[in-house]
């Protein structure tokens, strides 16, 4: 009887807990096959799973050792040309000088919508799970806004996650102030907003690029949604306006102060807080034994260092050899492609757990391409950097850090033994880099809530309170109304009309006074 009572109590307790459970079912879609971009969405998904929510993921990558309630329901691997460890310097040169906006629209936007036409995607779209149904959809915020249509089809709010600082069309979509007078963005990577003409260029490019994005995605992405999701899906512009929340990979100490509506939340560093990667036993021994310090060199998950021209690699060799007894750790995918005579103080590996390496006490310098996740990880652990920006947002990221003395900026095309030795000597031995990095690291980490808790809170807030709970009135206004252009025009015309009226009254009053005085003077003379 006691056993039966205990069993009854256990079942009843589970039932009561289930009635009061705040666990939700959430669909996460990561259409871009970039490892770094997916890391951002994976981190948000992992944070929610650890909070007890059921997470279903559609992605090109499967998480190693995911939480038990985190499931990759559709693996898109193989549906697109691979990007990990495949980018040569020729490809870098192409994307370095190409116009970024059309590239995002076509290569990382409109084309990605066709992923919804894959057979496994169609099976899911036509028969989504309903036991229980979804409460929310999370999608990457880049160029393929057609995936926002899943929220309409499933009748749930949509949260979007930007792996970069947000593109300005999301400011317009969410009614967030653009702050073009002083806020930097990816398009302003080559100049600082200081002068009048800087503000003119920044404002022009912000609105012109938004115009291009909205113009060249509207028809293609609307057609794709109606073809693959449902014939009754509204226009893509209407779908975008239903976005409930944007989580952005940025923070005020990095990109600067700017006004944000409650629907734009900064969660930079979430991938660091949730990382479980560890040093291998052999690498840990090597790092621990590197008592004179370690220089860590990687160009990220896409670009391969060994594809640099031979003369540049030999210059790097010579500079590294001069560092001894300081050691160097390099990510090299294919060591056979390197020139011979690699210095003895250099260790190469095809895969390196970046976060624990940067966290190690012996890491003194981080040589990086400037990818946003990478520079944030270096900043988080207060490791001064030497930056070799390649393309995309990387020039802006490195420039911002160089302005703060956290990074030493170099052009990868002009690396020589002398230039790299000068950079390494400066970052290793000039105290301004170490002191500035510690200060900026403190600012980056000093927050009222962790990035993880911030992301989870606002996502749950949207589910609890509805898609419109954070909606800005500016979402229903054209940009010229939101930025008071019509009001300024009204003031300008009013000032002109008032000025003209005052001028007209003064002129006529003056004429009348002069006429009276002349008449009086004439009469006075006649009397004389």
Q: What is the DSSP string of 451-498?
A: HHHHHHHHHHHHHHH-TTTT--GGGGS-HHHHTTHHHHHHHHHHHHHH
The pLDDT value recorded for residue 514 is 85
Strand order from edge to edge, sheet including 158-162: 70-75, 54-59, 25-29, 136-140, 158-162, 243-248, 264-266
The pLDDT value recorded for residue 213 is 93
Q: How far apart are CA 451 and CA 265, in angstroms?
A: 10
**CA 522, chain centre distance (Å):** 82
Question: What would the pLDDT profile of 41-52 be if each residue is shown by its tens digit?
Answer: 999 999 999 999
Would you say residue 7 has pLDDT above 60? no
The pLDDT value recorded for residue 3 is 45
Q: How far apart are CA 211 and CA 494, in angstroms?
A: 30
The pLDDT value recorded for residue 165 is 85
Helix (H) or strand (E) holding 16, with range, is helix 2-19
Question: What would the pLDDT profile of 466-506 be if each residue is shown by its tens digit?
Answer: 999 999 999 888 878 888 899 999 999 999 999 999 998 98
Say which DSSP state 83 is in.
-
**Stretch 317-329: mean pLDDT:** 95
Q: Minimal CA–CA distance to 116: which of 236, 234, 227?
A: 227
Q: How far apart are CA 471 and CA 241, in angstroms?
A: 9
Say if CB 42 and CB 61 are below 8 A apart.
yes
Question: What would the pLDDT profile of 354-376 be if each residue is shown by its tens digit?
Answer: 999 999 999 999 999 999 999 99
Count of CA atoms in the C-beta half-sphere (13 A) of 393: 23
Beta bridge partners of 349: 331
The pLDDT value recorded for residue 10 is 40
Count of CA atoms in the C-beta half-sphere (13 A) of 431: 0
Q: How far apart are CA 188 and CA 201, in angstroms?
A: 9
Say if CB 182 and CB 256 are below 8 A apart.
yes
Question: What would the pLDDT profile of 365-417 be if each residue is shown by its tens digit?
Answer: 999 999 999 999 999 999 999 999 988 888 999 999 999 999 999 998 889 99
Q: How far apart are CA 235 and CA 125, in angstroms?
A: 19
Would you say residue 507 has pLDDT above 80? yes
Q: How far apart are CA 82 and CA 87, in angstroms?
A: 9
Q: How far apart are CA 328 and CA 337, in angstroms?
A: 18
Q: Helix axis angle, 310-323 relative to 417-429, nearest 10°?
A: 40
Confidence of residue 17 (pLDDT cuts 50, 70, 90): very low
Lowest mean pLDDT among 71-85, 332-346, 421-435: 71-85
Say which DSSP state 139 is in.
E
Question: What would the pLDDT profile of 204-257 be if each residue is shown by its tens digit?
Answer: 988 899 999 999 999 999 999 999 999 999 999 999 999 999 999 999 999 989
Confidence of residue 524 (pLDDT cuts 50, 70, 90): low
Beta bridge partners of 264: 246
Q: How far apart are CA 263 and CA 471, in angstroms?
A: 7
Q: Minimal CA–CA distance to 51: which of 75, 26, 30, 79?
A: 26
The pLDDT value recorded for residue 430 is 95
The pLDDT value recorded for residue 13 is 38
Confidence of residue 188 (pLDDT cuts 50, 70, 90): low
Length of the chain: 528
Spell out the SS3 assignment of 323-346.
Answer: HCCCEEEEECCCHHHCCCCCCCCE
The pLDDT value recorded for residue 6 is 44
Q: How far apart are CA 453 and CA 51, in angstroms?
A: 10
Say if CB 138 and CB 31 are below 8 A apart.
no
Across 243-401, the runs of DSSP E, i.e. the strands, are 243-248, 264-266, 294-298, 327-331, 346-349, 363-368, 385-387
């Amino acid at each position: 009887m006691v056993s039966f009572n205990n069993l009854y109590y256990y079942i009843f307790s589970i039932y009561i807990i289930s009635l009061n459970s705040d666990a939700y079912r959430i669909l996460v879609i990561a259409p871009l096959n970039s490892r770094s971009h997916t890391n951002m969405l994976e981190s948000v998904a992992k944070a929610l799973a650890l909070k007890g929510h059921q997470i279903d993921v559609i992605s090109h990558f499967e998480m190693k050792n995911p939480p038990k309630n985190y499931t990759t329901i559709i693996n898109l691997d193989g549906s697109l040309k691979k990007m990990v460890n495949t980018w040569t310097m020729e490809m870098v040169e192409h994307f370095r000088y190409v116009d970024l906006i059309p590239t995002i629209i076509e290569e990382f936007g409109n084309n990605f919508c066709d992923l919804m036409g894959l057979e496994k995607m169609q099976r899911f779209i036509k028969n989504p799970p309903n036991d229980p149904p979804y409460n929310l959809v999370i999608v990457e915020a880049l160029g393929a806004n057609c995936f926002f249509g899943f929220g309409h089809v499933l009748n749930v709010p949509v949260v979007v996650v930007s792996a970069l600082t947000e593109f300005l069309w999301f400011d317009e979509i969410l009614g967030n102030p653009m702050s073009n007078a002083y806020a930097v963005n990816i398009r302003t990577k080559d100049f600082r907003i200081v002068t009048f003409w800087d503000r003119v260029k920044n404002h022009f490019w912000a609105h012109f690029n938004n115009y291009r994005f909205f113009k060249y995605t509207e028809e293609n992405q609307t057609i794709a949604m109606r073809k693959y999701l449902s014939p009754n899906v509204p226009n893509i512009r209407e779908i975008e306006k239903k976005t409930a929340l944007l989580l952005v990979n940025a923070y005020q100490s990095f990109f600067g102060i700017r006004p944000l509506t409650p629907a734009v939340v900064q969660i930079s560093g979430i991938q660091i807080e949730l990382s479980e990667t560890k040093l291998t036993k052999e690498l840990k021994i090597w790092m621990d034994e590197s008592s004179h310090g370690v220089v860590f060199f990687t160009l990220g998950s896409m670009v391969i260092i060994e594809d640099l021209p031979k003369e540049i690699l030999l210059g790097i060799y010579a500079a590294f050899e001069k560092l001894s007894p300081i050691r160097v750790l390099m990510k090299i995918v294919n060591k056979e492609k390197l020139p011979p005579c690699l210095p003895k103080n250099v260790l190469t590996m095809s895969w390196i757990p970046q976060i624990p390496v940067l966290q190690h006490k012996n890491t003194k310098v981080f040589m990086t391409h400037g990818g946003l996740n990478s520079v944030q990880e270096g900043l988080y652990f207060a490791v001064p950097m030497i930056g070799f920006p390649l393309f995309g947002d990387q020039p802006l990221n490195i420039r911002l850090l160089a302005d703060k003395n956290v990074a030493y900026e170099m052009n990868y095309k002009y690396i020589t033994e002398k230039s790299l030795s000068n950079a390494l000597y400066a970052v290793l031995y000039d105290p301004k880099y170490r002191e500035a990095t510690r200060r900026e690291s403190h600012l980056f980490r000093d927050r009222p809530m962790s990035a993880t808790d911030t992301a989870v809170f606002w996502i749950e807030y949207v589910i609890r309170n509805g898609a419109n709970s954070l909606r800005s009135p500016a979402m229903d206004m054209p940009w010229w109304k939101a930025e008071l252009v019509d009001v300024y025009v009204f003031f300008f015309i009013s000032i002109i009309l008032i000025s003209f009226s005052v001028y007209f009254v003064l002129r006529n009053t003056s004429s009348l006074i002069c006429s009276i005085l002349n008449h009086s003077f004439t009469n006075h003379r006649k009397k004389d």
